[in-house]
A = this chain, B = another copy of it.
Amino acid sequence: MELKMPKKALVTGAAGFLGSHLCRRLLDEGYEVTALDNLFTGTKDNILSLFENRRFSFVLHDVTQPFWGQFDEIYNLACPASPIHYQHNPVETLKASVLGMMNMLDLALKTKARLLHTSTSEIYGDPLVHPQVETYWGNVNTIGVRSCYDEGKRCAETLAADYRREYGVDVRMVRIFNTYGPNMHPKDGRVISNFIMQALSNDDITLFGDGLQTRSFQYCDDLIEAIRRYMALPLETVDAFCAKCGLGAPVINVGNPGEYTVKQLAEEILRQMPESRSKLVYRPMPQDDPKRRKPDITLAKELLGWEPKIPLNEGLAKTIAYFRNLVAG
C-alpha cells in the first residue's frame, strides 16, 4: 500500500472573501492548507467551517513579517482590497502589498515553491484603453488617496517579475477584476454588497447619475477555477506562453467581460428580493466614482482554456442568500 502525501498549500489573506473560497477549494481537492491572516479585514467567520478539517491550519500572522514553512504552492492574497478598508490605513495597505510580496517571494525562493500572486485591475488606474489588455501600462496617480493600493500592487508586480528574472522564482500573477460572492464584507463599499444590504434593510438603493454607467462582475467561483488551472500548469508551459506573448512576466487578466449597467444590477437584485420595500433613488455622481474597467481575457482563455461560467442572476442568488443568512444572524 502506498502512502500518498497531500500537497501543501499556503494561503495568505485566507480569512478574506477570496481567500476563504480558495481554502475550501484546495481542501476539497485534497490539499493540506495553511491559512494566514492578520484578521484586519478578514474574519474567522469566513473559515470557521474549515477548522474541523484536520488538513486545515490557521495561523494569525501579518504578511509584512516573514513566515517560514515548506509548501508546494503559495497563494498570496493578503491585502485590504476595498477603498473603505485600505484608506483606513494607507501605509499598512502598501506594506501588506509590498512587504507581503517580498516575504512570499523570499519564501518561494528558499523552498522552491510555486507562487500565485493576486494583482488587480486597479493597476490600470483610470485606463485610457478599453477593454484593458495585459500589455497596457495603466494610468495611475502616485500621490493620491487611492495610490497606496494601486501603487503597492504595481510595485508587487515589479518585485514578482524581477524575482522571476533574477532568481528564477516560479511566480504567476492574475489581475483580478471586480469579483463578488458569499463572504464579501457587508460594509466594503462595493456596489453589489451595498445594494443587497440596502435591499435587506429596506433602505433606498442609491444610483449615481443616471445609473447607466456599466460594470463587469465576476462570480468568485469562476476566479478560483482560473487560479487553480493556472497553478496546475507546468512551468515550461507558462514560460513559453510568456515568451510568445512578449510579456515581461506571466500575468493574465481574470474577470468577466460581460457588462451591466448599475441600474440593471439594482433591478435584478430587487427582482430576486421581492420582499424588499427598497426603491431606486438617484443621486449626483460623486467625484471619485469608481472607474469603468472591462477585462480583455483573451490570454486567460488561451492559456487556461477558461472563461467565466456563472451568469449574473445565478451568482447574485447565491450572494443574496449569503447576506440574508448573515443579517438573520
Interface residues of chain A, those whose CB is within 8 Å of chain B, are: 89-91, 94-95, 98, 102, 123, 125, 137-145, 147-148, 151-152, 154-155, 157-163, 165-167, 247-249, 251
Contact = CB atoms under 8 A, between A and B. Distances in A.
Nearest to A173: B143
A152 B158 contact: yes
Contact of A138 (B123, B142, B160): B142
B155 A90 contact: no
Given A90-B162, A94-B158, A137 B145 contact: no
In the complex this chain forms, how many copies of it are found? 2
Nearest to A164: B143
A165 B251 contact: no
Given A90-B166, A152-B158, 9 more contacts: A91-B162, A94-B158, A139-B139, A142-B154, A143-B161, A144-B248, A147-B162, A148-B158, A151-B157
B94 A159 contact: yes
Contacts of A160: 143
B165 A90 contact: yes
Contacts of A91: 159, 162-163, 166-167
Contacts of A138: 140, 142
Contacts of A251: 143
A147 B161 contact: yes
A141 B137 contact: yes
Contacts of A143: 157-158, 160-161, 247-249, 251
Given A155-B94, A155-B98, A165-B90, A137 B148 contact: no
Nearest to A151: B158
Count chain B CB atoms within 10 A of each CB in A138, A143, A247 and give the residue with the most: A143
A241 B154 CA distance: 29
Nearest 9 A-B pairs (CB), nearest first?
Answer: A143-B248, A143-B161, A155-B155, A151-B158, A90-B162, A143-B249, A142-B157, A147-B158, A144-B248
